[in-house]
């Protein structure tokens, strides 16, 4: 993938990895459409993109609202804009035990992390196919590969994304659609602060894992490196990524470690 002069749509772009990737790409891209719920945050990202001489379009979007996702996407395509890369970072985490969590919270997490991402991909994909190809990337997680305490619905949503987008890839590689699944480990963003508790409130704390994680800027560099090579899976982070290998090659050890995770 050569990013030069291309058009990208990036969700979750008001903060964290989505913001960092938007700013990095703006050094070479022609147009970046940035989406999120947070209009003010998007405007800050937009200002940085413009400073790099790249065109920017702000589309406020709640990923829990399928109708508004379709409406916004239709308005973008009705103007004849072609999207070369759709990179989806919008997502919400969780800090609650299965025993305490009502299914309504599980549904909310699935709605944002899975159905919202799928809805936007389904609107964009036909346009990519009809113009000969494109690149999709989604932010899964290490817990898209294994279950983890306090993350039941979050882990389920990321597993679901992996299954969906691997299937999409298998069906659409003949249309020159590449799919990269991002597997971030611990990245120093606000993801834990906005995580949902069993009450549906924000967790409000920075996890030590995230606090000690790599920066969003470093994560964006790792992501760009993988996207350029159209890697099917892009591991993002530091030594914590070892957990993926432990789960794969030493599952019994992994289960033992996971059981010992204390409340955060």
Ligand X SMILES: NC(=O)c1ccc[n+]([C@@H]2O[C@H](COP(=O)([O-])OP(=O)(O)OC[C@H]3O[C@@H](n4cnc5c(N)ncnc54)[C@H](OP(=O)(O)O)[C@@H]3O)[C@@H](O)[C@H]2O)c1
Token digits for 55? 């065109």
Q: Does 181 bind ligand X (CB under 6 A)?
A: no
- Token pair belonging to 210: 């995230």
The rounded distance, in Å, linking the Cα atoms of 148 and 133 is 36
- Binding to ligand X by residue 213, rule CB under 6 A? yes
The smaller minimum CB distance to ligand X, of residues 72 and 187, is found at: 187
**Of 3, 8, 12, 223, which lies in the binding site for ligand X, with binding defined by CB under 6 A?**
12
* Piece in contact with ligand X (CB under 6 A), picked from 24-32, 44-52, 71-79, 186-194: 186-194
230 touches 182 (CB < 8 A): no
Name residues contacting ligand X, limited to 112-131 (CB under 6 A): 112
If one asks whether residue 22 binds ligand X (CB under 6 A), the answer comes out as no
- Residue from the set 63, 69, 124, 234 that interacts with ligand X by CB under 6 A: 63
List beta partners, residue 196.
Answer: 94, 202
Task: Give me the residue label for tokens 């196919």.
Answer: 129
Residue with tokens 């609202």: 65
83 contributes a contact to ligand X by CB under 6 A: no
Contact pattern for ligand X over residues 225 through 264, marking x by CB under 6 A = ----------------------------------------
Residue 216 and residue 20 in contact, taking contact as beta carbons nearer than 8 Å: yes
Nearer to ligand X (CB atom), residue 14 or residue 152: 14
**Of the residues 7, 15, 135, 222, which one makes contact with ligand X according to CB under 6 A:** 15
**138-177: contacts with ligand X (CB under 6 A):** 139, 141
Does 17 sit near ligand X (CB under 6 A)? yes
**24 binding ligand X? (CB under 6 A):** no
Strands 134-139 and 177-184: parallel
d(CA 156, CA 6): 33
Confirm or reject binding of residue 210 to ligand X (CB under 6 A).
yes
Angle at 22 between CA 133 and CA 126, to 5 degrees: 25
C-alpha distance from residue 54 to each of 6, 23, 233 (Å):
10, 9, 28
Rg for the chain, CA atoms, rounded:
18
Copy the structure tokens of residue 259. Answer: 């059981």
Pick the closer one to ligand X by CB: 124 or 171. Answer: 124
> Which two three-digit tokens encode residue 105?
């919270």
Residues contacting ligand X: total by CB under 6 A: 31
The catalytic position among 87, 150, 154, 203 is 154
Instruction: Give Cα 242 to chain centroid, integer Å.
Output: 21
154 is known as an active-site residue: yes
Binding ligand X (rule: CB under 6 A), the pick from 7, 45, 93, 101 is: 93
Decide: 8 and 29 in contact? Cβ < 8 Å.
yes
Footprint of ligand X (CB under 6 A): 12, 14-18, 36-38, 41, 61-64, 89-93, 112, 139, 141, 184, 186-187, 189-191, 194, 210, 213
Residues classed as catalytic: 154
């Amino acid at each position: 993938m050569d990013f030069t002069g291309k058009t990208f749509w990036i969700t979750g772009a008001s903060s964290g990895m989505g913001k960092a990737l938007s700013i990095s790409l703006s050094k070479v891209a022609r147009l970046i459409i940035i989406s999120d719920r947070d209009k003010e945050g998007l405007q800050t990202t937009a200002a940085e993109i413009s400073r790099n001489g790249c065109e920017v379009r702000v589309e406020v979007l709640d990923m829990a609202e399928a109708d508004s996702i379709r409406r916004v996407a239709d308005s973008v395509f009705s103007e004849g804009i072609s999207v070369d890369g759709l990179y989806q970072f919008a997502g919400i985490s969780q800090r609650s035990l299965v025993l305490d969590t009502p299914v309504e919270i599980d549904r909310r997490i699935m709605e944002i992390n899975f159905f919202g991402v799928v809805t936007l991909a389904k609107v964009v994909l036909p346009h990519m196919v009809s113009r000969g190809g494109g690149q999709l990337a989604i932010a899964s997680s290490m817990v898209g590969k294994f279950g983890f305490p306090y993350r039941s619905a979050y882990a389920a949503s990321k597993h679901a994304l992996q299954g969906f987008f691997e299937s999409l890839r298998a069906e659409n590689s003949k249309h020159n659609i590449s799919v990269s699944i991002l597997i971030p480990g611990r990245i120093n963003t606000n993801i834990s602060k906005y995580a949902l508790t069993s009450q549906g409130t924000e967790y409000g704390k920075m996890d030590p894992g995230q606090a000690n994680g790599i920066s969003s800027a470093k994560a964006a560099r790792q992501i760009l490196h993988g996207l350029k090579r159209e890697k099917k899976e892009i591991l993002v982070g530091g030594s914590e990524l070892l957990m993926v290998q432990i789960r794969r090659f030493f599952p019994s050890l992994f289960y033992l470690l996971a059981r010992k995770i204390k409340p955060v």
